[in-house]
Amino acid sequence: MTQAVLKLSDVGYHWPGRSAFALHVADLTVSKGETVLLLGESGSGKSTLLSLICGTILPDQGSVSVAGTNVTTLSGAARDKLRAEQIGVIFQQFNLLPFGTVSDNIMLPLRFAPERRKRAGDAATEVENLCTALGLPRSVIHAKANALSVGQQQRVAVARALIGQPPLIIADEPTSALDANSQAAFLDLLFTQTAAHDTSLLMVSHDPRLGERFDRVIRMEDIAVIERAGE
């Protein structure tokens, strides 16, 4: 039986003070090593869903399991630790520390995740290996992040998510600002790295053209029910 790295069951969430919006997801499962594209337009609940998966908000009902741990049973500090240990996140705007070096940025998750730090082994060597695999020259490892090109910053963001081999990578619209050729090159790099470690990937996008690259495509309207006042 294939191991589920991510599983949501009967999850419901209502934004406090925002009676206009509530989200319900009956089931969402991502298996070990699986690549899944989650498609949804603006306002479809994608951001709320990602917040539930990462444990930055808790559902009003149901369970969210990451790497076999039910996030909803944990304290805030324990959720932060689980997120740091088990989830690598690639943000749409990269969210790099602009005046930190490439090495500082890539190793940042390890500061909050001792088990992930152990998995990384020699962190400096792992940074070099990831940079090489992602096509970043060694000469940039000690450069400030704000001195890099957009393409280089994107690769640093990927390396930061991958270091220490978290079992789940979440990518939030990482190709939205790229042309078709750059999108393809980015996905080639991402899939190569996730496949090397049998890592699961959940990528959020509004672009259905990316779907053929993934093991599975899920549309928000097929898994989520959105309730708004007056509807």
Q: Are 39 and 220 in contact (CB under 8 A)?
A: yes
Residue range 143-182, pLDDT digits in tens: 999 999 988 998 899 999 999 999 999 999 887 767 778 7
Q: How far is CA 20 from CA 1, 11, 25, 224, in A?
A: 40, 18, 17, 16
131: left (phi over 0), alpha (psi -120 to 50) or beta: alpha
Predicted local distance difference test score (pLDDT) of residue 230: 54
Place of tokens 């989200």: 23
Strand order in the sheet with 69-70: 69-70, 61-66, 4-14, 22-31, 224-227
Predicted local distance difference test score (pLDDT) of residue 91: 87
pTM beyond 0.75: the answer is yes
Question: What tokens appear for 185 in the block?
Answer: 């090159």
Set out the domains of the chain in order of their start, with CATH numbers.
Answer: 32-58+74-219 (3.40.50.300)
| Selection from 199, 230, 226 nearest residue 215 by Cα | 199
| Selection from 17, 34, 119, 23 nearest residue 64 by Cα | 23
Predicted confidence pLDDT, tens digits, the chain (231 residues): 568 999 999 999 998 775 678 999 999 999 999 999 999 988 888 989 999 999 999 999 999 999 999 999 999 999 999 999 999 999 888 899 999 999 999 999 999 999 999 999 999 999 999 999 888 998 999 999 999 998 899 889 999 999 999 999 999 988 776 777 878 888 888 899 899 889 999 999 988 989 999 999 999 999 999 887 655
Rounded CA separation 124/53 (Å):
30
Question: What tokens appear for 157 in the block?
Answer: 């963001």
